[in-house]
Amino acid sequence: MDSSRLTYSNVSVRDCIMSAWNVKAYQVDGPDWLGSDRYDLAATSATPADEGALKSMLQTLLIERFHMKVHVEKRDLPVYAMVVSKNGAKLQDAAAPGRPAIRMNGGGVVFTSVTISDLIDLMSRVHLAELDRPVVDDTGLTGRYDLTIHLFGTQEEMMSALSKGDFGSSIFTLIQEQLGLKLEPKKLPLQMVVVDQAERTPSGN
């Protein structure tokens, strides 16, 4: 995506909706094919546009190409709210704030210059069975942090276990003991993008 052109390759409509309306996957309600079918999409603006205008352009593209009808509503959804534990967070301010990064180090995972939102996104990508509902940030923490989560004695042990979805300990225990954060089950009102109608075969440019 640049200042005047939108280009998406091999993406799902759900991916595009998430970008256009700035929501997570669990905030999109519609037919299953929104997440399974893949498309190449492109659109060009006559003049350079800022991020908000590009998102609006993507909304228009989706609505017109897929003859889509959508509405936005609030729904109470079961979530895990990430909060600071009663003894306080155990987080170190980023030594060099910049792009977030993640790497393996021995039997641990090192996060550099991450926000709490970055941490939640990375956790959600692992698809932990324990995390049977979305995680939302309710910590009130707005900085960038350097942190390490220690999982196993060696990197070989860690890689073998992670390939099976095993973190050695409960993710709830790990983040509370090592980061001073907690995951609390709650129901919170979240914005939903509801696709009322959409055609699976898009119209041409």
User: Per-residue pLDDT tens for 137-176?
Assistant: 999 999 999 999 888 888 888 778 767 766 667 888 889 9
Which backbone phi and psi does 118 adopt, to 5 degrees?
A: -60, -45
Helix axes 13-21, 51-65, angle to 10 degrees: 140
The structure tokens listed for 112 are 């550099």
- Which residues sit opposite 112 in a β-bridge? 101
Going from the C-alpha of 84 to that of each of 91, 111, 198, the distances in angstroms are 11, 18, 41
Going by C-alpha positions, the residue among 27, 10, 20 that lies closest to residue 134 is: 27
Going by C-alpha positions, the residue among 84, 184, 187 that lies closest to residue 143 is: 84
pTM, 2 dp:
0.71
The whole-number average pLDDT for the span 94-106 is 88
- What is the per-residue burial (b if ≥16 Cβ within 10 Å, else e) of 78-95? ebbbbbbbeeebbbeebe
Express as a percent the part of the chain with pLDDT over 90.
55
d(C-alpha 114, C-alpha 103), whole Å: 12
Q: Is the pLDDT of residue 129 over 90?
A: no
Q: Is the pLDDT of residue 127 over 60?
A: no
Residue 46 — pLDDT band, cuts 50, 70, 90?
low
For the chain, the structural domain boundaries read 5-66, 77-188
The whole-number average pLDDT for the span 68-80 is 95
Could you tell me which residue, 113 or 106, shows the higher pLDDT?
Answer: 113
pLDDT value at position 138?
93
Q: Tell me which of 76-85, 138-147, 169-178, 192-201 is least confident.
A: 169-178
Given the DSSP bridges, would you call strands 69-84 and 101-105 parallel, antiparallel or unpaired?
unpaired
Q: What is the mean pLDDT of the chain?
A: 87
Could you tell me which residue, 139 or 52, shows the higher pLDDT?
Answer: 139
Residue 128 — pLDDT band, cuts 50, 70, 90?
low
Q: Tell me which of 2-16, 24-38, 66-80, 178-192 is least confident.
A: 2-16
Q: Is the pLDDT of residue 1 over 50?
A: no
Kindly state the helix (H) or strand (E) to which residue 70 belongs, with its residue range.
strand 69-84
pLDDT value at position 28?
95
d(C-alpha 14, C-alpha 67), whole Å: 15
The structure tokens listed for 154 are 């060696």
Which backbone phi and psi does 147 adopt, to 5 degrees?
A: -150, 155
Residue 106 — pLDDT band, cuts 50, 70, 90?
confident
The whole-number average pLDDT for the span 48-72 is 89
Per-residue model confidence as pLDDT tens digits over 22-40: 998 889 999 999 999 999 9
d(C-alpha 141, C-alpha 147), whole Å: 14
